[in-house]
Amino acid sequence: MRLLVVEDHATLADRIAQGLRQAGMAVDAVYDGAAALSVAAQTTYDVVVLDRDLPVIHGDRVCQTLAGSGPRVLMLTAAGEVDDRVDGLELGADDYLPKPFDFAELVARVRALARRAPSAPPVLRRGDLTVDRARHRASRGSRALLLTRKEFGVLETLLAAEGALVSAEELLDQVWDANIDPFSNVVSVTLTRLRHKLGDPPLIETVVGKGYRM
């Protein structure tokens, strides 16, 4: 799951992003509305966590631009009165969480929004392999798979592709965030560990020079 956090207080934005990464998500953070629209035009996000009172381009305009274009929008703002929430939802936001907030609730709302995307069913299956995106659990047959956050993200992305080829670049884009070195071998290393944990018969095929598929 790939997220964008848009918050003008850089320390808060980075803390939110770090907390969401610890919850198993790939997260980018920007600090103004113009940067939000710029990165959203280049990267596919499942959910955008959006502060309303942003510099350069106001959060309301960012919300209107993003609404209906792909990502779900969760407005996260200090303006928490009923009228404010109604205004945010009418702008196109999918959910609205006032500050201060409980972080566990933020994680739950983000996951709920990601599950609402038509292309993102909450449970993915292929043969005897099951990936429960909502509970962040995976199993093969009766055996639970103990996966790291990145291993889970790679498996989730490959399963969601329904047999289509997924390049290493696409895996970097969906599972890691903008801070990853694009020339790193982290994808191949993660896949090696994942294959070992999945066991036999093998489920992931490598197409040399092109990518991977289930």
Given this model, what pLDDT does residue 79 score? 61
8 A C-beta contact, residue 4 and residue 71: yes
Given this model, what pLDDT does residue 182 score? 63
Angle at 191 between CA 187 and CA 197, to 5 degrees: 150
Residue 25: Cβ within 10 Å count:
23
8 A C-beta contact, residue 165 and residue 210: yes
Given this model, what pLDDT does residue 29 score? 95
Given this model, what pLDDT does residue 136 score? 80
DSSP 3: E
Q: What are the strands of the beta sheet with 129-132, ordered from one edge?
A: 123-126, 129-132, 137-140, 143-145
Torsion of CA 167, 5, 106, 190, to 10 degrees: 30
Neighbouring C-alpha atoms within 13 Å toward the C-beta of 76: 25
Q: Reduce the DSSP state of residue 84 to 3 states and report it.
A: helix
Q: Given its phi and psi angles, is residue 163 left (phi above 0), alpha (psi -120 to 50 degrees) or beta? A: left
pLDDT, tens digit only, all 214 positions of the chain = 789 999 999 999 999 999 999 888 889 999 999 999 999 988 888 899 999 889 999 998 999 888 767 788 998 877 655 555 566 567 778 888 888 889 999 998 998 887 765 555 667 888 899 988 767 889 999 999 999 888 998 998 898 888 888 888 888 877 876 666 666 788 889 999 999 999 999 999 998 888 899 9
Given this model, what pLDDT does residue 37 score? 93
Tokens matching residue 114: 């990601």
